[in-house]
Structures are given as C-alpha cells and as structure tokens.
Amino acid sequence: MQGSSPDRSRLPDELRRVAGEFADRLAGALSRPLVALVVVVAMVAVSVAFAVHGLRTPLRTDYVALLTGARVVGQGGCLYCLGAQAHAQAALVGVQGAPLDAFLETPLWALAYRSLLGLPPSAGFAVFLALSAVCLAATGHLLWRRLGLAAHGAAGAALLALTLVSLPAAWNYQLGQIDGVLVLPLVGGAVLLATNRRFAGGILLSLLLLKPQTVWLLPVALLVAGEWEAVAGMALGGVCLAGASLWLIGTSGVGQWLALLGSRGPALSTSDGLPGAIASLGGNGAGFVAAATLGLVACGWLWWHRRSLAGRPLEVVVLGVACSLLFAPHVYVYDMILVTLPLAVMARRSLAAALAAALLLNAAYLVDTYFIYEGPHLEALALCVIVALLAAGLGDRSTASVARPAPAQVVASSTTTGA
C-alpha cells in the first residue's frame, strides 16, 4: 500500500502535463489561419442553421412565451396568472387548450417585447435575430479590439467562434432566448470598469439583473474587491429595474411570479450548473441546499482572496459571472454564452487554456445532448474547470488591469499563446 502512494501522488501531475500538452497543441493548430477559418465557418454555420430553424417555427420556441407576456401586459392583465397567460397564448397560436409555454422571465422583458406584437411571428423573430446579430457583432468588436483578442490573430478569431457562436450559444438563436443580447452589456460593462469608468460600468452590468441567476454573485465579488463605484452603479441600476418592475406588476406580482416559477418552471435537475447535477442525484431539495451552500462558500472564498482581487476589475467580473453560472440553481445551455467574457480574459494569461476550456464546454454540450439524458451534466464539470482556471490565475498579477488607463487605451496586455 505504501509503495503505491507515490504513483497516486504523481497522477495529478501527469494529468496536468497531458492537459497542458493538449492545450498547447490546440492553440498551435488554431493559430493556423486555415484551421481557424474552418472552425469559424463551422460554428457560424451551426448558429445560422439553429436561427433558421427558429425562424421557420417561431411559435414553437421560447419566443411565444415572451410574446405571451407582452400580450398580457398590453391588455393590462395579470402577468404571472396562468389564466391570463393561457388566454393570451391561445390567441397567439390560434389553438385553444394547447399546452402553455409560460412566461417566466422578469417583468420588463414582457414590456420590451410589446413592440413585436404588431408583426407576424416570423417577422418579429427576424427582428429579434437581427438585434441579436448586432449585439454579437458589437460584443465581438469589444473583445477583439478592447480586450486584446486581435493580438492572437487566427486563434483569437477561433476563440470568438467557440464562445459567441458556440454550440450552447446557438440555442439562443433557435429558441429566441435573450442571452445573446445580454452578453453585450456584460462585456461593455467590463471594459468600462477596466478603463476606470467604474460607475458607468456598474450601471451597464446591472442590465444583467434582468436575468438575475446569471450574475447573482457578481455584486458580492465587486463588494469584497472594494469596487465601490461599480457596486454603486450596479445598485442604482438594480433599483431602477426593480422600481420599473414593481410599477408594472405591483407588489402582489412578485409573489405570483415566484409561485409560477415553482409550479411551471423547469426541474432543477435539468439545470446546467452544479446544483442541477446534484439535484439529478439527490432531488430538487438537495439541489437548492447545494446552491445556497455553494453560494456561501463562494462568498467566503472571494472574501478570503479580496487582496488578490483588489485593483483587478476584469478578474473580479469574470469570477463573479463564472461562479454565478456554476452555482446557480437555474441556468441552461443558452446561458453558457456569458462564459465568453471569462474565457476572453483568461486568454490574456494563457490563450491555450482559454481555447481548451472553450472546446471542453462545446464537447460537454455534445455529450450531455446525445449520451446523458438524465444525471449529472458534464457542462457543470466544464464550468468547474473554467472557474478553477480563473481562480488559479489570481496568483499571476502580470495580467492585472492597469490602474488608470486612458479611455481609448486597449485593455489587453501581453499574453502567452501556448503554441
């Protein structure tokens, strides 16, 4: 028994060596323009195919739920009442008694989608796709020019493709989900923080509170890192969003929303985060306990490392977002597009690690989709790896943001390609 312990102790080192060699070779391959072009074209083609599928059948996607909420709001009805939603959705699809795809999003999304009610469903969905495309293009520009992916050339373009139009992200364009829009204020807010416009950055980041499960730990990360201006901006934005939501649905609507989430929301075991994996083994109760416990652990870990986080707003934001996705009880495949920013920031320290993590997330999606129908999701494991890599990077202050860069200054610093 004693003789086998050295072999066991060498196993993690061997795994790290093999993983490092694979990441280096991957980065080297994707640094070749032709290989990167094939990856970019393939990922874009998949996302376009998903979008076309959604465009052909918009009322069979989540878009119908958003239109349902918009119709209820337009009629002055009870937004989170099943009867009002069922009546509105029956009028949209033209079928009485069809299964209800309930509107479960935060109230302001219903208000935002009112402008699409006057269009035919396919035309409205086309407008949504066009808005998503504009947001993706703007996000790609910020990542390329302001966060330094341009310095990596072909490999940087491949990383953009493996994140913004990844296999998980493509579901936004088929289902009519809103994460493809929210990724722009996420990246824009991070750039503002890194260029010392922290209050404005916090206001922009507050827009992600429209989908609170994706950033629920971000305010904590900003707070413990001493990013007071960003916290103030995010708090102001959050108060405005909450006030507008209460004006729209009233205080009673909050309880109705939570009740509807509990009765008609997806099972926790289907969530892609770590609590979802735990719920698939121990039930919904275990999943919610795990989410609360892991959230507290994450808060404690962030507090313990507050000195390492001080003065590094990009690292604070990406850790807050990545931990939020990993430990949230309700995140799904389309939410994974928000990992784009953490991987882009990771590339500042190690492009090879970022590319390998992006590929891992896409591969985990494929395995979850085609081989794992029930049980723990490998996407949760991929998120664990991403959070671990981001946490490991805290020890390297060479990628820390410049304390007071000029607004026009590119945020990126020198990186290693790992090739």
User: Which among 217, 191, 220, 214 has a CA at the least distance from the CA of 204?
Assistant: 191
Asked if residue 10 belongs to a domain, the reply is: no
Which residues touch 208 (CB under 8 Å, ≥6 apart)? 182, 185, 186, 214, 215, 218
User: Which among 406, 189, 398 has a CA at the least distance from the CA of 313?
Assistant: 189
Rounded distance, CA 297 to CA 170, Å?
Answer: 32
- Number of domains into which the chain is organized: 1
User: Which among 11, 131, 10, 9 has a CA at the least distance from the CA of 63?
Assistant: 131
Asked if residue 3 belongs to a domain, the reply is: no
User: Which among 328, 302, 304, 327 has a CA at the least distance from the CA of 315?
Assistant: 302
The mean pLDDT value for 351-368 works out to: 95
DSSP code string of 374-404: SS--HHHHHHHHHHHHHHHGGG-GGGPPPSS
pLDDT of residue 404 exceeding 50, the answer is: no
| pLDDT of the residue at 148 | 93
Asked if residue 238 belongs to a domain, the reply is: yes
Report the residue count for the chain: 419
pLDDT tier at 414 (50, 70, 90 boundaries)?
A: very low
Give Cα separations from 223 to 21, 77, 145, 193, 271 (angstroms): 37, 39, 28, 14, 27
Asked if residue 258 belongs to a domain, the reply is: yes
pLDDT of residue 200 exceeding 60, the answer is: yes
Find the range with the poorest average confidence among 50-64, 75-89, 331-345, 384-398. 384-398
Geometric angle at alpha carbon 172, from 238 and 333, rounded to 5°: 85
pLDDT of residue 5 exceeding 90, the answer is: no
Asked if residue 368 belongs to a domain, the reply is: yes
Rounded distance, CA 162 to CA 41, Å?
Answer: 11
| pLDDT of the residue at 412 | 45
Asked if residue 90 belongs to a domain, the reply is: yes
| pLDDT of the residue at 14 | 76
Asked if residue 221 belongs to a domain, the reply is: yes
Which residue segment(s) compose the domain that 66 sits in?
25-399
The mean pLDDT value for 36-58 works out to: 96
* Helices 274-282 and 284-304: angle between axes, nearest 10 degrees: 150
| pLDDT of the residue at 175 | 94
What is the pTM for the complete model shown?
0.91
The mean pLDDT value for 365-378 works out to: 79
Structure tokens at 84: 């009002």
pLDDT digits (tens, 9 = 90+) for 243-299: 999 999 999 999 999 999 988 888 888 899 999 999 988 888 899 999 999 999 999
pLDDT of residue 375 exceeding 70, the answer is: no
Asked if residue 2 belongs to a domain, the reply is: no
Which residues touch 387 (CB under 8 Å, ≥6 apart)? 319, 322, 323, 326
